Amino acid sequence: MNESEEPESFDKAEPQLEESKIDEIYSLVSQQFPILDYYMEHGTLTFHVQTDENSKEAFLKLYKSLKPIGFLPILRREGEKEVIRIVNKPPVKKSNIMINLALFLATLATTFFTGYFISGNREGLDPISGGLTFMITIMAILGIHEMGHKIMANKHGIEATPPYFIPSPPQLGIGTFGAVIMQKSPPPNSDALFDVGASGPIAGFIISVIAILIGLPFSAYDWIPRNAPTLPQPIFLTLLRLTTGSYFLPSSNNLPPCPGPDYVLAILLHPIAYAGWIGIVVTMLNLLPVGTLDGGHIIESIFKGKARSIFLITSIVLLLFTEFWAMIFFVLLFGLYRHPGPLDKVSSLSTGRKLLALGILLIFILSMPVPIFLY
């Protein structure tokens, strides 16, 4: 997950600019765009410009030339015209790396003890080994997810913090509430916003699938009462079971005898596979198209703020048909915040990224649990 610290709107009054600065900014803007008019609007230097098919690249060049002198351009379409407003680049507060380190160490401890506890009653599984394998796997999944965000942020010149890992009590059975990076400057355009939002879920999903495939052969089977509670089953795992025959089902000689007709065969996930299951769930929740969640970044980059309420309602309805219905509160909380969007809201998302969005939609579907009414 990545969060944005930029203000909801950049269209705010700026201190009066010196004439020399206005001349310098005018020169930089005119190098990239034909200027039809310029004026001060509520204290903000504003340019009425003409755009064309090369405007995305032109805006990026303007962005890179203004940033070193302490300004940011904002490109918006207002009625029949396109305007560029020049605002002061917000100061970036330096992160305290010791907080990141402390949270990382705390999450190492909580995930280790989570793996230790879930391995304690498993025959043939040493609790210490279970704790270590779960800790390493879940931290790798979360870390790779967040580093996907961080790498893309760095690529596009977006200032972002190192990951903040969030520990949770081992008694909850997961050991962590995930991780987050804080985005300290706005993305220049929709391409950058999409890349930052999409990179984490893609990387996290891939490593989660690898963890599941590695951990399943080491998992065990046992008979449980037919209506006993079990983990929600992502669609990916359902398809895997249907194509592989009950997740690499061992021979009947290695199975305990069935206690009776009211029992069903269940898999007891190895800590590595269990960490992969958590990673799949984290991917699904992050891809909900709401607010500043990863899915919210992707939707904003494609639709530019349109149909925001429809995506919020869709997310709520989807969760209502799963065991994760309690996460509706989480969705509503994120839905309260209007996504600020990129600096350039005129340029469209590249065609390649629109096609990639279909792949991300597939990842979201595979990460969703099987609806309750299909059980």
- Report DSSP letters for 163-232, one per residue: PEEEE--GGGSSSEEEEEEEE-S--SSHHHHHHHHHHHHHHHHHHHHHHHHHHGGG-EEEEEETT-----
Residue 246 pLDDT grade (very low, low, confident, very high; cuts 50, 70, 90): low
Cα separation, 137 vs 304, in Å, equals 36
* Structural domains of the chain, ranges and CATH numbers in brackets: 2-88 (3.40.109), 97-215+275-374 (no CATH)
pLDDT tens for 98-126 read 999 999 999 999 999 999 998 877 767 88
pLDDT tens for 317-352 read 999 888 888 888 888 887 777 888 899 999 999 999
Cα separation, 238 vs 224, in Å, equals 19
Predicted pLDDT at 5: 53
Predicted pLDDT at 265: 82
Residue 95 pLDDT grade (very low, low, confident, very high; cuts 50, 70, 90): confident
For 313, residues 6+ apart whose C-beta sits below 8 A from its C-beta are none
C-alpha closest to that of 360 among 220, 240, 201: 201
Question: What value does the mean pLDDT of the chain take?
Answer: 88
Higher-scoring residue by pLDDT: 91, 114: 114
pTM, 2 dp: 0.88
Predicted pLDDT at 304: 86
